[in-house]
Structure 1
Amino acid sequence: MATIKMGLIGSRPTLKRYSLIVQVGVGLLFLAGHWTPVYSQSQTYQGLVSEGKHFSELVYVSPHNASEAIRVTASSQNADTTYPVLFVVRQQKSVLSWAVPFIIQSMYVYDEVSHTLCPENGFSPTAAHNISIDVTTASVKPVNFTLTVTMMDDFELRTHVPKTVVVSPSNPKYYVYKFPDDADFMTVQATSTSEICTVISVQPAQCPVYDQHRNVEFVGQFQTVTKQGAITVQKKKYPSGYFFVVAVVQPTDKDCLGQTIEYVPLQNMSSQDVLEIAKNRSKEITISVDTILPLSEYWKPIVATVGVLLVFYVIAGIIILVQCKRRKEQHSEHLEEQVHILGEEENSNDVPFAQNQPAATSNYGTTGKDSGNSAVRSRPLNKLSTNEADPDEDDIDMLEDMNEEKEIYRTKMSVCVADLARKKPKTLDRKYKLYYWNILTIAVFYSLPAVQLVMTYQAVLNMSGNEDMCYYNFLCAMPCGLLSAFNNVFSNIGYVMLGFLYLLIVSRKHHIHKQAVASGCEKSKTCGIPKHFGMFYALGIALVMEGVLSGSYHVCPNYSNFQFDTAFMYIIAGLGMLVLYQQRHPDVNANAYAAFATFAAVIFIAFMGVVFVSVYFYVVFAVLHIITCLAVSAQMYYMGTWKIDLGMFKRAAIIFRTELCKCARPVYIDRMIVLIIGNAVNWSITIYGLVKMPKDFNSYLLAIFLVNLLLYVAFYIIMKVRNGEKLIPAVVVIIILALVIWGLALNFYFMGLTGWEKTAALSRESNAPCLVMGFYDGHDVWHILSAAALFLSFLLVLLMDEDLEGKDRTKIPVF
């Protein structure tokens, strides 16, 4: 057990009512080395000080281990703010001073202050040292004080052993912890039931210790805490193996709750109000130090994640090999069939001419309809002579402009894919190639500054120790190298790996299509959905870039860079709708410049929603949203023949007067139904935004895109089934898997482990421990599952119309 030896020094009057003779005698004995010390765990002094009377005490300290430290508590009942009592503690390497009453920000007054003295001996049991305590005041009238020096025997924190303490602005506390020999990282956790703002700091075990609200942020790592907080401590940052855990209650809750504090001068408050305010700032907090997954074990979850993603590659490879084998067999059968047909033709050439003629005698002398039709079918309509029987006028459309004027053939009652695939394939290929070239350019110019910015944030965090800069899940933040939360960054690898796999699959299909076109296959030109792969490549690139930018955002997630995480999600959702629309409307679909200009406008609106969110912003956004819905509805309903110009208002008024007011039956019922549903859903979301005005506008905007994409996919599948088209088994399996994985992924997403729209302290209240392998939290699982779900969704769009490969385009409906 450590000992405290008290000795009076100096020639000042005593404050214990000893006589002058006794005081001098004790002083002389002490100086002569014949004084016998008194051993105690606690020593209390009470007395009076004034301008001419000061108090000084010398304390000898001999701690036995790191679990012991000295705590000094000082109080005064009749000291005033004009002439406070000053307490000065001098140690060998530092000086600590404070005044009683202790005033913070002109509104909090405390008549008792307590501090733990820094153990300057470096936790060595053999290194004794002494401290000097002086008490002074400038008051002419005597002022009472009480000074208590106590030896703490629970100064050291133990692994997995919680310690509950009570702290206040005038009563900060700190403890020491020693790293185990076999640990690289430890997590310091602080929990409480109170929302009073507290700063938890981890500092090197050296003097002085910064344990006051005005200096606690000067050194080490720190974060604001309300009900929960955690700091991951790396052993390499503390070479001595020791560190201090400091808890300091802030004078106000502004830093934690983001509330504006109105200061009331002391002179305007009663003494009872002052005491009540000071009393309400006490907080009980539990501190614990726990182990986390060591760096040497990171390889297990990393290998497991990569292995799961490689399963997708293996399955895709097996399917491609099976398809290749089947295609070779079909090609061989086709060659054999051609050889067989050629052989039959050669044999038929050896038969006498008379036997080789068709049996014309069966219709000899007949003037029936069949003979007339065969005559007509033997020649093109434009080559019929006037002497031959003219077909009925109802059977032939003599309007030659129908092949040229889109206002005619796009507005037929029944439009087929052939009607909207009239442009040259090479022209459309060049049009859709611009999508992936544009998205590659955007990716480079967007991602490089984003990566640079977040790495700068990470560097500043590492240098300053301010962990309020980044909104991690601190209960599951696995550091590695310069990264504070390596797991949050690495979990985005699913987007990258599956994005590249999707690009490989698209490339494979593109290669097969080019081979078919090069071989002169007529089916590739007239059957099935027109093949244009530019937008599919753009989807794959967008998936890869979502992984890159989401990983960049999670290097240091905060209010300033959240748009990095969502920018390519807007593009993915928008491209998904455009790809589906392209399937049956290749001539009508938007070009790359218009599409990416729209995406740029969306990202600008997202930026405005983060920086200038207000009721006025939501009103303006609601108007723009509704106008956009109406404009897109007109474009979709009229198959691109609706022109957006100054005359559109007049045309809209005419349609409203002639059709809507008279309740005329819509020409295109299917399109009208889906557009009505889509507008109803979008208008409902707009009303919700006006009523709730969510702070996280980016997520609100992304929800609008995803809901519209989901509606369009559902409409597309329903219309396929309604028109008698079949979903191949592979597509059915993909739909089921995608729905299941999306459901699981969204369950983890809505766990809400962090929230950049809140303050850092309130965001930490939602933190939760790791869920998988002691490495991944719920949001990491969302990253992996959503990557798989997006991949399957893209695959669904790519393969949805595989059943139409051999069907003539004139028989494939547009919807």
Structure 2
Amino acid sequence: MMLRSCWKSRHKKSSGPASCWIRPGLTALLWLCVTQFICGSEAVGETKNVVQKDAEFDVTYNDTVTSENQTIYAFNHTVSRNKTEGVRVSVDVLSQGFESPILFVVRQKQAVLSFQVPLILRGLYQRKYPYNHLGRTLCQPPTRAASETQYFFVDVSTLSSQGTNYQLRVSRVESFTLQTDKKFSFTASPSQPQYFKYVFPDGVDTVIVKVNSDMTFPCSVMSVQDIQCPVYDLDNNVAFIGMYQTMTKKGAITVQRKDFPSNSFYVVVVVKTEDEACGGPLRFYPLRPDELIDAGNRTKVIDVVVSPAINSEVYVMGMLFCLGIFLSFYLLTLLVAFFTNFCFWLCLCSSDNGSTLSSEAITDSATSTDNNYGYMGMDKNPNAHKRIRSLESVGRSRQESLSSVEEDDYDTLDDIDSDKNIVRTKKFLCVSDLARKDKRILSKKYQIYFWNIATIAVFYALPVIQLVITYQTVVNVTGNQDICFYNFLCAHPLGALSAFNNLLSNLGYVMLGLLFLLIVLKRDIVHNRALVRNDLNALECGIPKHFGLFYAMGTALMMEGLLSACYHVCPNYTNFQFDTSFMYMIAGLCMLKLYQKRHPDINASAYTAYACLAAVIFFSVLGVVFGKGNMVFWIVFSVIHILATLLLSTQLYYMGRWRFDSGVLRRIVYVIYTDCIRQCSGPMYIDRMVLLVMGNIVNWSLAAYGLIERPNDFASYLLAIAICNLLLYFAFYIIMKLRSGERIKCLPLVCILFTAVVWGFALYFFFQGLSTWQKTPAESREHNRDCILLSFFDDHDIWHFLSSIAMFGSFLVLLTMDDDLDTVQRDKIFVF
């Protein structure tokens, strides 16, 4: 009965031209009757005056609406298949009517758009912002005909008994289709979103949509959506479909043709009601739950440019370039090995001492890359043959010793427990004093470094790979590009990966890490052969050769590449430790290797070393999660940092002979009293004291800096501490080596100079800062920049290239820097 009375009243009261009322008008009345029947807006028997008007484009209609009348504006326009024109509806309510707003319903083919004015948009904590002026663009349903006339209607109604004045204007958007490589400017606001259409040109499969603005705020959202109705163009629904990202000054989305069956898409720009999502200030909280907040002027001028992305040829060139760079290091290594062996043969042929070497000795010596000229040294030393004969018994006893050795059974001399305190506290120590343990046991001890890090790598990498695959899947499914902090201006997708170039550039860590392992393996094999034939230099000369830490360093470099690639699948706040964990390990292993060179007997065990590195990673996580602006955390960390520095300094100064037990405080007071107050004697080990004083100054300064400045990037701050200590110890090692009368051979000297230069360029590109997860995604995109190498790699990719080369060079320095001592007896090599 209600539907029938409604229909009769509308049919009786309506007026308008019969020509456009027969079908469109009938449909409009039927729609209104059904709508009001469902909503229950009319009581039984109530009548309402419905007026339909033929309306025209670009004409402003001033009218009044009450609960007793309703106005329908009928529009028609011609739609062409080859030309797309936008239609925009602008509404302005001239009176304040928050309790009874005006409802506008736009009915068109395949779509219905409705909105109320004043429009109430909600922000954070459900804060309400009213807007009296609205502008909405109508979606364009596709047409198969060459030309078609389409009708649409704008229905205006309200429940307010008082008259409300409004203005309505419908206009055509002439520049609705974006052109390739042409900048288009427009203005948007929260109540006046904008979107435009882009059609893929022939031969272009991927484009980059770049949106720029000179205004940091207000915060806005950029979205790419398929051609369909409705278009989600409000702050509260723009994330429902397609790909989207927040932006302040810059935004960029790479769009592929395969993701849009219609070969076209909409570029939607929506200005948010608040700026918190872009790192802006948090507005005050309303005093009353229903309080309306004045949004102010939130108009933003925006430029949009759609440019073709790179083609498949650039992908191939980028991959070939990456492979070519690192394969050249393999070729260079082979050339250096060949040149070294050639020089050795040349030296043998040109020797004028008349000595004759056996073919077996020549072959074994020629294959050595350690530059162990043992036989040449023997000819110059008249006692060399006697020394070899005396060492034959040592070799036999070594081979006949027990094959099963316990891992903790380090001290093999009967009297080592009784005299090691005396030996290690001598004023001037030699390597022979700290290389008294059985080589087999020490080798087994240091091999644990490699096996432990290999085990850690497997258990660490598997869940990491699973997690980043999940991250990438979430990004692809939801379209939320705020999850990952890419350099969107140079992020080239491949398959499901959003930034393939950032993954490819990490290949250097893996390839150069593998190359370093091969070099270490070659040296290990040559050294073992020398031990088997009881070579004098291998048994009694040079720095003791233990390769376990080198194997661990090479493995860590490979894992750094793998985990850095995993991190760059989706770099964000929650997976930063993937990229930094093995950086800490590399720095720690390098310091341990430097210390092991002159202190093979007293170096830390693998379990202790990895436990300390685990503690560093633990503090790294805590610092990122809780350290931002938290004074309590920084005080605790600074105290722990200083105490750890003092404890380590004590251990290094006393060569591990200082016991940390319940009597440690009493012994500290006693040492201070006897050495500083009673006799005021200088330090016994001056060189070590200089190093430790410098180390404490550096670490105390870093602790003070962290406590005062409290940097946001705690992970980088912690890594800076490790690198500063490593560089300090390396510089001390080089200075003491030269002071001791030792020299640096040509190959390590070239490696040192080359590595220093590469590190300088690498750090330059690292500090460019193309993105940062310490800020909001929108603020991070302000630092995005275009590709600078082959239109495929950005600054951070170049950092990956150079840092992997620099790390490889640094490892070679550690491997070769003491080659000059291979013919020097260990009781003549100083410890420092």
Same fold (TM over 0.5): yes
Residue 57 of structure 1: aligned partner: 73
Kindly provide the amino acid, as one letter, of the partner of residue 120 in structure 2. I
In structure 2, which of residues 158, 161, 170 is the aligned counterpart of residue 140 of structure 1? Answer: 161
Give the distance between the partners of 1:559 and 1:288, measured in 2 at CA: 30
Q: Which deviates more from structure 2 when the two are superposed, residues 325-334 or residues 798-807?
A: 325-334
Equivalent position to 2:813, from 779, 796, 813? 796
Q: Is the 1:527–1:808 Cα contact (8 Å) retained in structure 2?
A: yes
CA shift, 1:39, in A, is 9.8
Using the alignment, how far apart are the partners of 2:690 and 2:572 within structure 1? Answer: 42
Q: Which region of structure 1 is more displaced relative to structure 2, 212-221 or 106-115?
A: 106-115
Structure 2 counterpart SS, 1:694: coil
Distance (whole Å) between structure 2 residues aligned to residue 88 and residue 531 of structure 1: 84
Structure index of larger Rg: 1
CA contact (8 A) 1:160 1:288 kept: yes
Correspondence for 1:233: 255
Q: Return the alpha-carbon distance in structure 1 between the equivalents of residues 580 and 19 of structure 2.
A: 78
Equivalent residue, structure 1, for 2:43: none
Q: Secondary structure at the match of 1:520?
A: coil
SS at match of 2:301: strand
The aligned counterpart of 2:649 is 633
Q: 1:725 aligns with which of 726, 742, 763?
A: 742
Corresponding residue of 1:689? 706
Is the contact made by 1:79 and 1:85 (CA closer than 8 Å) also made in structure 2? no
1:412–1:32 distance in 2 versus 1, CA, 3 Å: closer
Residue of structure 2 in register with 1:244 after alignment: 266
Counterparts of 1:736 and 1:543, CA distance in 2: 21
Q: Secondary structure at the match of 2:240?
A: coil
The match for 2:518 is 504
- 1:182-221, aligned counterparts within 5 Å? 182-194=203-215, 195-221=217-243
Relative distance call for 1:70 and 1:11 in structure 2 (3 A) is farther
Aligned to 1:366: none
> Would the aligned equivalents of 1:417 and 1:810 in 2 still touch at CA under 8 Å?
yes
Q: Indicate if the aligned counterparts of 1:121 and 1:128 stay in contact, CA closer than 8 A.
A: no
Given the superposition, is the C-alpha separation of residues 300 and 48 from structure 1 closer, same or farther in structure 2, using an over 3 Å criterion?
same
Post-superposition shift, 1:448? 0.8
Q: Tell me, what secondary structure is at the counterpart of 1:262?
A: coil
**Which amino acid is 1:660 matched to?**
C
- Are residues 517 and 296 of structure 1, via their aligned partners in 2, closer, same or farther at CA, if it must alter by over 3 Å? same
Query: Compared with structure 1, are the counterparts of its residues 267 and 336 closer, same or farther at alpha carbon in structure 2 (3 Å cutoff)?
Result: closer
Is 1:318 matched with 2:318? no
Contact 1:79 1:144 (C-alpha < 8 Å) held by counterparts: no
Does the CA contact (< 8 Å) of 1:295 and 1:480 recur in 2?
no
Q: Which runs of 5+ in 2 are unaligned?
A: 1-6, 26-52, 359-389, 391-413
Q: Give matches, 1:256-405, under 5 Å.
A: 256-257=278-279, 259-264=281-286, 277-327=294-344, 339=356, 404-405=418-419
CA contact 2:219–2:247 (8 Å) conserved in 1: yes
Displacement of 1:559 in angstroms is 0.3
1:743/1:252 CA distance change after superposition, 3 Å: same
- Contact (CA 8 Å) 2:314, 2:790: kept in 1 or not? no
Q: CA deviation at 1:338?
A: 5.5
CA shift in 2, pair 1:249/1:72, >3 Å: same
Question: Structure 2 residue aligned with 1:159, among 180, 184, 189?
Answer: 180
- Show the counterpart of 1:533: 547
Shift of residue 324 of structure 1?
A: 3.2
Pick the aligned partner of 2:687 from 663, 670, 673: 670
**Structure 2 counterpart of 1:664, which letter?**
S
Give, in whole Å, the separation in 2 of the partners of 1:100 and 1:722. Answer: 84
Q: Percent identity?
A: 45
Partner amino acid, structure 2, of 1:763: S
Q: Residue by residue, what CA displacement relative to the aligned partner does 1:714-755 show, whole Å, maximum 9, x if unpaired?
A: 111111111111011111111111111000000000001111
Supply the distance in 2 between the matched residues of 1:433 and 1:672 (Cα, whole angstroms). Answer: 31
State how far apart, in whole Å, the 1-side matches of 2:332 and 2:251 are: 43
Letter in 1 for 2:323: V
- Cα deviation for residue 159 of structure 1 reads 1.1
Pairing of 1:402-441 with structure 2 (within 5 A): 404-441=418-455
**Which amino acid is 1:28 matched to?**
A
**In the alignment, does 2:603 pair up with 1:589?**
yes
**TM-score, structure 2 as length reference:** 0.85
For 2:337 and 2:89, the matched residues in 1 are separated by: 76
Give the Å deviation of 1:339.
4.5
Pick the aligned partner of 2:110 from 78, 93, 101. Answer: 93
The separation in 2 between residues aligned to 1:90 and 1:467, in whole angstroms, is 33
SS of 1:299 mapped into structure 2 = helix
Q: In structure 2, how many angstroms separate the alpha carbons of the residues matched to 1:244 and 1:224?
A: 17
Q: TM-score, normalised by structure 1?
A: 0.86
Residue aligned with 1:667, SS: coil
Deviation at 1:651, TM superposition (A): 1.6
Following the alignment from structure 2 to structure 1, what is the Cα–Cα distance between the partners of residues 62 and 716?
62
The runs of 5 or more residues in structure 1 that have no matched partner are 1-8, 15-19, 342-378, 380-399
Opposite residue 800 of structure 2, the aligned amino acid is H
Rounded to whole Å, the distance in 1 between the matches of 2:76 and 2:9 is: 19
CA drift at 1:576:
0.4
Partner SS for 2:251: strand
- 2: CA distance between counterparts of 1:561 and 1:771? 27
Residue-pair matches, total? 735
Equivalent residue, structure 2, for 1:469: 483
In 2, the alpha carbon distance for the partners of 1:515 and 1:570 equals 34
Partner residue, 2:397:
none
Range with bigger deviation, 669-678 or 64-73: 64-73
Cα separation, partners in 2 of 1:11 and 1:154, compared to 1, 3 Å: farther
In the alignment, the residues of structure 2 paired with residue 333 and residue 450 of structure 1 have an alpha-carbon distance, to the nearest angstrom, of 57
Cα distance in 2 for partners of 1:573, 1:254 equals 38
- Residue 102 of structure 1 contacts residue 170 of structure 1 at CA under 8 Å; is this kept in 2? yes
Comparing 461-470 with 728-737, greater Cα deviation is found at: 728-737
Cα distance in 2 for residues equivalent to 1:251 and 1:679: 52
Residue 72 to residue 177, structure 1, CA distance change in 2 (3 Å): same
